[in-house]
Amino acid sequence: MPAPTKYNEVMSIIKRRIQAGDYLVDSIPGERRLAEETGVSYMTARRAVRQLLDEEVLARDGSGSLVIHPTFARSAKPAEVVLLYPAYPSSYLTQLRVVVTEAAEKRGLAIRPGQFVHWDDKAVVDVVEQAKGTVIIPYGPVVPQRLIEHLRANKVVVLDGDFSAEGLPSIRLFSDACIERVLDHFWDLGHRHIDCLNTQNRNTEINRRIAIWQNWLSRKGGRGDLRDDPAPIYTDPTATAYRLMSRLLDEGESEATGFIATTCPAAIGSVRACYERGIVVGRDRSIGSINLEPPSEYFCPSITGLNTPDLTDLLERSFDWFAGDHGWRGDLLMEPTNSSLFLGESTSEQASERSRSSFV
C-alpha cells in the first residue's frame, strides 16, 4: 500500500483538529502557518487547503480567513461546546472535567476542554464567542466587568460558582443545607470547638463556605476560629495546610477538637501534620472537608465530607440552552437537591473540651 502523500496527511490533521474542536480554542491557521506547524512546504499546505475547500470541509469568510464549512460541520458533528477551567493541577478540576464530559456524551455532544491562566486570557474571549456554548469553572480573582458583559452576550454557564447576580446561569455544587450537614455531623459527635481551615485562594464560593460555618457556629452556640492562610494562585494548598496545621500544633494555638476544611487539600495537609506528631485523626482530633476529591475515600484515614453530586440534570439544561435559539429559561442559580455525606475515618466522637496541653 503506497504511503499517503504529504498533502493528504495535512488534510487528515486539519480534519482531526476540527473533529476535536481545536479551532474553537484557536482559529484555523493560514497556509504559511499551517506549513510550519505540520513540517511541509508552503505549496503542499496550499494544495491541502485547496482540496479541503473543494470538498467543502473548509470555507473562507468575508475577510478571507479559513473557517469550517457548514456542510462538513453538520456531517462530522465536531465539538461545539467548550469546558474552560484554570490551568493548574487539581484532582478536583479533573473530576469536574469527567463529570461534564460524561454528561455531554449522554447527549451525544463532544466537549472540547481548554485551560486559561487569567481572566484577561485571550482564549477566554475567543472561545466564548466561537463556541455554541461554554461551561466555565472560575478561579480566585474578581472577574473584570468587561468580561462579564462579554460572557453575558454569549451562552456561558458557570460551574462551581454563583454568578447569577451578574446575569450568568450558574451551577453551585453544594447548597447551604448540604454544607451544614457536614457541620451537624461534627456537632452530633460532641464537638463544641470547631475551627475552620482555609488554604484555598479566596473566591466567592470559599467566602460563602466560611460564612456558612460562622453563621452555623453562632446559631449553635459553639466556639471556633478561622484559620485562614490562602495559598498563592496556582500553588498547592495542601502544602500550605500542612504548614498551617503544623504551626497550630507546635505552638498550641488552637484548642479545637474538630477542624472543618473549606476544601479537601486543606484537610489532607492537616492530617499529615497530625500524623507526624503522633496525633491520631479520628481518635484524638476530627478533621473533615466540605467537599471531597478523589481519592480521599482511600486515604488512611479516609476523609469525611460531601461527595460531588449528580449534575446530569443541571448540565442537560445547560446543553439544551446551548443547542436552542431561545434565551435562558428558569432560575439562573441551579443547585442539586442533595449531596451524599461520606462518613470517613477522620471524624470521631470527642469530649466537648480539651486542654491546650493535649496538643503537645
CB contact at 8 A, 237 and 330: no
Strand partners, 135: 83, 157
CB contact at 8 A, 49 and 31: yes
Domain boundaries, the chain: 6-75, 79-171+310-334, 176-303+344-359
Residue closest to 245 by CA, chosen among 263, 226, 264, 272: 272
Q: Would you give the DSSP letter of residue 29?
A: P
Residue type, 292: L
**Rounded to the nearest 10 degrees, what angle do helices 145-152 and 122-130 cross at?**
20
> Residue 341 and residue 336: Cα distance in Å, rounded?
14
35 contact partners, CB below 8 Å, separation of at least 6:
41, 42, 44, 45
Question: Residue 157, by phi and psi: left (phi above 0), alpha (psi -120 to 50) or beta?
Answer: beta
Q: Which three cell numbers stand for residue 172?
A: 453551585
pLDDT in tens, the chain (360 residues): 344 688 888 888 888 887 777 777 667 888 998 888 889 999 998 998 998 898 888 889 888 888 888 887 766 666 678 999 998 878 899 999 999 999 998 888 888 888 898 998 887 888 888 888 999 999 888 899 999 999 999 999 999 999 999 999 999 999 999 999 999 999 999 999 999 999 998 888 999 999 999 999 999 999 999 999 999 988 889 999 999 999 999 999 999 999 999 999 999 999 999 999 999 999 999 999 999 998 899 999 999 999 999 999 999 999 999 988 889 999 999 999 878 999 999 997 653 344 333 333
Residue closest to 172 by CA, chosen among 59, 336, 33: 336
CATH class, 176-303+344-359 region? alpha beta
Residue type, 344: G
Give the predicted TM-score (pTM) of the model: 0.81
CA-angle at 179, arms to 178 and 184, nearest 5°: 95
The CATH code for residues 79-171+310-334 is: 3.40.50.2300
Domains 79-171+310-334 and 176-303+344-359 agree in fold: yes
CATH topology of domain 6-75: Arc Repressor Mutant, subunit A (1.10.10)
Q: Which three cell numbers stand for residue 299?
A: 486515604
> Residue 220 and residue 213: Cα distance in Å, rounded?
10
| DSSP helix/strand/coil, 337 | coil
Residue closest to 319 by CA, chosen among 138, 114, 127, 157: 157
pLDDT for res 141: 80
Three-state SS annotation for 339-354: CCEECCCCCCCCCCCC
Residue closest to 194 by CA, chosen among 248, 255, 259, 279: 259
Q: Would you give the DSSP letter of residue 193?
A: B
pLDDT for res 354: 41
> Residue 284 and residue 299: Cα distance in Å, rounded?
17
Burial class (CB in 10 A: 0-12, 13-18, 19+), 300: exposed
Residue closest to 256 by CA, chosen among 278, 226, 232, 234: 226
Residue closest to 315 by CA, chosen among 160, 138, 115, 149: 160
> Residue 111 and residue 195: Cα distance in Å, rounded?
40
Question: 61-67: long-range contacts at Cβ-Cβ below 8 A with a sequence spacing of 24 or more?
Answer: 65/27, 65/28, 65/30, 66/27, 66/28, 66/29, 66/30, 67/28
pLDDT for res 85: 93
Other CB atoms within 10 Å distance of the CB of residue 290: 27
